[in-house]
Amino acid sequence: MQKKLNKIATDTNSFLKKFIQQQKKSELIIPMQYGLFSGGKKIRSKILIDIGTLFNLNYKSLIIIGAAVECIHAYSLIHDDLPCMDNDTIRRGKPSTHIKFGEATAVLAGNSLLTMAFEILSHKKFKIKTNIKNDLINKITECSGHLGIAGGQYLDLSFEHKKVSKKKIIEMETKKTGKLFSFCCAAPLILKNKNEKEIRKFENIGAEIGLLFQVADDLIDYKGSSSDAGKKTGKDKKKGKATLISLLGHENTIKYAKNLIIRINYKIRKYGSNSKNLAETLNYILDRKK
Ligand code: GRG
């Protein structure tokens, strides 16, 4: 698994480095690169490739779409760490972008990474049919805005120190984290020109994978060590964050996550041995320490 992740990370980073090199230079490039190349796992790109494998899709196209996703992910982490958001000083074992470059620069570097995702997908060198390109951009935009990660982040912040129902916590985590995973699961079907119903089915699978990912992240915060995680742990309780652990307890949350894995595997069983890459990724997501 780690070998596969490393290959995807190398291929994604080399695409992104080349893409940036071909652009005109600016002062924001250094903080943008700091947020982009500071050692993320590239798990979202792995999911894209796992789902792409189910449909025999071209690896290079999936890497380009994954590169756009990683730009949005990097932006969301830079903004998430800001004092007005989760106020974190360490990310991936290094000072957060605003600690290294200052708050205003971090905001602008994050904004520029967000827009870079759309530059990558709309670029003329990404040679796919125009209607498919348009559908991909439309979907990733929807997943990033008020109905997706930004909206989920709003809920996360507004739920602090409040008693929140399980349904609301799931809604918040599905938006904040799940929507980008939904895009990763829907994108291969969009590339294959599948119908709306099929795309929606895979978006729902992505939402469940994202929820599993966030629950695992909450478990790391609850029990994991800061040195393994590369970020401070034990923060959720201090900040009064609404998580499934705060509602169901540690053991029941682990059961909940294991049931999610069973449910997702059941939904992809019809793809036979092609689905084993995704099954492996799901176990990795729950067992990971960072
Ligand atoms: C400021 C307009 C505006 C919007 C804010 C900040 C934000 C939008 C959304 C935050 C969403 C967020 C950070 C969700 C947490 C998701 C999560 C668990 C991230 C960690 O992902 P990993 O473990 O990170 O894949 P690596 O380091 O491996 O890349």
Hey, which of 79, 81, 182, 184 would you mutate to test ligand 1's pocket, going by the most ligand atoms within 8 Å of its Cβ?
79
* The residue to which tokens 């990558």 are assigned: 120
What string of DSSP letters covers 71-115? HHHHHHHHHHTSTTTT--SEETTEE-HHHHH-HHHHHHHHHHHHH
- Alpha carbon distance 246, 163 (integer Å): 10
Using a pLDDT cut of 70, give the percent of the chain over it.
100
210 in Cβ contact with 180 (< 8 Å): yes
pLDDT (0 to 100) of residue 55:
93
List of residues 6+ apart from 19 with CB closer than 8 A? 67, 116, 120, 123
pTM for the whole structure: 0.95
Give pLDDT tens digits for 160-178. 999 999 999 999 999 999 9
pLDDT band at 274 (very low <50, low <70, confident <90, very high): confident
* Residue 79 CB less than 6 A away from ligand 1: yes
Using CA atoms, how far apart are residues 107 and 186, in angstroms rounded to an integer? Answer: 29
CA 270 – ligand 1 centroid, Å: 32
**Mean pLDDT of all residues in the chain?**
96
Give residue 232 CA to ligand 1 midpoint distance, Å: 14
Candidates 105, 52, 40, 43; CA nearest to 77 is: 40
Distance separating alpha carbons of residues 212 and 256, to the nearest angstrom: 9
Pocket test for ligand 1, best of 5, 44, 172, 177 (most atoms within 8 A of CB): 177
For the CA of 86, the closest atom of ligand 1 is 6
CA 138 to each of CA 63, 123, 144, 222, 224: distance values in angstroms, whole numbers, following the listed order: 19, 15, 10, 36, 37
Q: How would you classify residue 240: left for phi > 0, otherwise alpha for psi between -120 and 50, otherwise beta?
A: left
pLDDT digits (tens, 9 = 90+) for 54-76: 999 999 999 999 999 999 999 99
94 lines ligand 1 (CB under 6 A): no
C-beta separation of 70 from 36 below 8 A: yes
| For residue 272, pLDDT beyond 90 | no
- Answer whether residue 261 shows pLDDT above 90: yes
Q: How far is residue 226 CA from its own chain's centroid?
A: 20
Q: Given ligand 1 and candidates 115, 159, 176, 219, which is best to mutate, with the most ligand atoms within 8 Å of its CB?
A: 176
Ligand 1 atom at shortest distance from the alpha carbon of 73:
29
